[in-house]
A and B are shown apart, each in its own frame.
Chain A
């Protein structure tokens, strides 16, 4: 029998403060062998990062290990003094963190950072450390490592930086690597390369790897075994294939059901009740006689939005002389049309200009050239301000970050009442109250919320509140700019279900912007694929996913981490 590299027995960690005691990790036992990749998956607050930090004794202040053992190569790491720990951390155990921006020193060259680490961990002289650094950079597939040794972190892209971080973690020839959300800050195309690299290094050097992530797709791609955590406890452990294809625990089942799939289009996410069970929509409203149903389908036009040859440039570098200025064409000659009642998706990587289009249509930034028509009403080349304001009232936006999209100093009832008061759609105070409460119920939040402040809600609930606020001005078009990318998968599933229900009931037209292809497939009827400010391909969702024509679309599709891909 092969000896285990790492064994964790009944680990209990609590965070104690004056106000409350949080048991962040409860009775967790994990084993890991050399050459094996263990995925730890769970949603925010599940305690997965805490375990990673506890292994190397890097718990944040009020946290302490109450009970349990961490046996690494026969040594118990719990209660070990700092000096001995330092000989293990960095040398025997390497760490990879989420954000490559902050885990490298910005004022040191890559070479010096590597050499310094190697000199410390291996206690060798400069020249051999230099040679070793170059070898390391080669092993993480960085081209031209000799030249790159002189570069600073900011001269590297996000993916390259993460490679350097991996090289740093390998500097002491460790036996175990703990990677905490190593690809969360990266684009899909870069993510798959990094995962490939970690996997190959693991096999080549016979390393034990613990990957901590919220993304089941990542687990499916890279891990041999997976541990599912929920609320501080392990709910299920096993081979990836067995856990993902045949989950035993209810939580694992809901978690997997909540992941949008890229292979088939589902109407709704089913059986995700285990999570956030208390935020179900509790009251259905009869739209025929309710104010939300009024004036819904009055506009005759079949086109909700028509965009023609839209252009927008941003100034990257200001200068007095024209030739020194640097501009970025964020949106380059983009034209498309969205039919009434349709869900239209725009997908692309970060910096492709998809959010800029959303802001242009919503009138938040000015158009350089081109035309935008909302229900046949021109809003760009129009001198009549009143017409523009009336047209733009039909368009409301839901933003990416639910933590900054609600005014932290206003009560929920005032946030939602604001558009009602502004457009004077209600005649008196009681009517406003009634509408606000109906709206909140409609998005699945009960009346207790009225007097609370946004900070008292979770991300998913806040996103529901933003949706209610957007609905309060009775829009006909909703622009959703990455509405779920900062939410956990289960919460995402609930919010996406809500958006679909609202669309069915209110006949809304939705412009859905996301970098996440499976989410787009789930939500949209037609999709535009964007790259560097240009649209590569527009087609129905099914043809984009089944028969992509443009080479970039094909590339994007091949990179999605999938649960279905395990074989």
Chain B
């Protein structure tokens, strides 16, 4: 009877875990969205090298090139693959530069909003009671206004400029992060390892920083990607309405609004291609965020 062997206690094998993770990562939808995302970020980073012309260099831009249709040659010999706009700028180059502005605004506002939201959410979740109630009512008020409306009012007060847009977008978004972190923090806060830490005499700020934060942050990773896509579209809307980034540093939104005057006169490309790029960017980030949610969810294992 003694042939029954002792079960080895350590059943979880890291090797198999990373295998599952790899398999989840190599699904076609993940790979396509990830590839597109890398391409977009790459274009934005190396805009000045990749763009055929510099659309903001007034020495190169000529009014004689205005409204060339896609594929025509410009005066200096370069081909405008996506046509030119009313001022004679190459649309392809403008898109690549505009992408950079859009991404900078979206990512930095998402990071600021995340930090503020994380802080507020952790405090609310950890202390609970009156502090929690007070902070969450602020969040409620913030969320009860449409994001676009709040951003419009803020920009009317703050004035124009990339930094102002980033601040406005961060103010619009922090509440969503705060709400999510708070929910995660409350779950973790009631677990016994937090009590054990306070038993050791650790101060509250140390418990929040070392124990609560690392365990409540994971739902934010997915949220942050989806929110980044959201803030790209809010920024585009603001720029389209003319209150966003200044005309000297156009984003995708301002490019779209730029060509809007010509759309009925047949020069569709000035609006159409920036719009397509906006769609592709937002879709790529959204799909990637969705895939990330599946990858990070341990319950979905196939």
Contacts and interface: CB of A to CB of B under 8 A. Distances in A.
Given A422-B201, A456-B10, A458-B10, 20 more contacts: A19-B19, A45-B7, A235-B4, A362-B199, A363-B199, A364-B198, A392-B199, A392-B201, A397-B196, A397-B199, A399-B192, A404-B193, A405-B192, A405-B193, A407-B214, A408-B193, A418-B202, A423-B201, A456-B12, A466-B196
Nearest to B23: A18
Contacts of B1: 235, 249-250
Among B9, B199, B215, the most chain A Cβ lie within 10 Å of the Cβ of B199
B133 to A, nearest CB: 11
A393 B201 contact: yes
Among A249, A404, A466, the most chain B Cβ lie within 10 Å of the Cβ of A404
Interface residues of A, number: 50
B: interface residue count bin:
20 to 34
B6 A277 contact: yes
A45 B197 CA distance: 31
A461 interface: yes
A409 B215 contact: yes
A278 interface: yes
Contact of A455 (B6, B12, B193): B12
Interface in A273-329: 275-279
A250 B193 contact: no
16 contacts: A19-B16, A19-B19, A249-B1, A251-B4, A278-B9, A363-B199, A393-B201, A396-B200, A397-B195, A404-B191, A406-B193, A408-B193, A408-B215, A409-B214, A460-B9, A469-B196
A393 B202 CA distance: 10
Contacts of B198: 363-364
B13 interface: yes
Contacts of B2: 250
B12 A276 contact: no
A364 B201 contact: no
Contacts of A473: 200-201
B17 to A, nearest CB: 9
A457 B9 CA distance: 7
Contacts of B19: 18-19
Contacts of B210: 418
Contacts of A20: 16
Contacts of B192: 399-401, 404-405
Nearest to A397: B199
Nearest to A407: B193
Contacts of B14: 456
A357 to B, nearest CB: 15
Interface string A401-421: 100111111100000001100
A231 B201 contact: no
B211 interface: yes
B9 A458 contact: yes
Q: Which 3 A-B pairs have the closest CB atoms?
A: A405-B192, A399-B192, A19-B16
A120 interface: no
A230 interface: yes
Contacts of B20: 19
A473 B199 CA distance: 10
Nearest to A404: B191
A395 interface: yes
Nearest to A277: B6
Contacts of A45: 7
A466 B197 CA distance: 11
Contacts of B200: 396, 418-419, 422, 469, 473
Contacts of A404: 191-193
Among B12, B196, B198, the most chain A Cβ lie within 10 Å of the Cβ of B196
Interface string A430-457: 0000000000000000000000000111
A162 to B, nearest CB: 27
A233 interface: yes
B173 to A, nearest CB: 26
A389 interface: yes
Contacts of A362: 199
B6 A278 contact: yes
Nearest to A19: B16
B7 A395 contact: no
Contacts of B215: 407-409
Contacts of A423: 201
Contacts of A458: 9-10
Nearest to B1: A249
A511 B200 CA distance: 17
Contact of B9 (A235, A400, A461, A470): A461
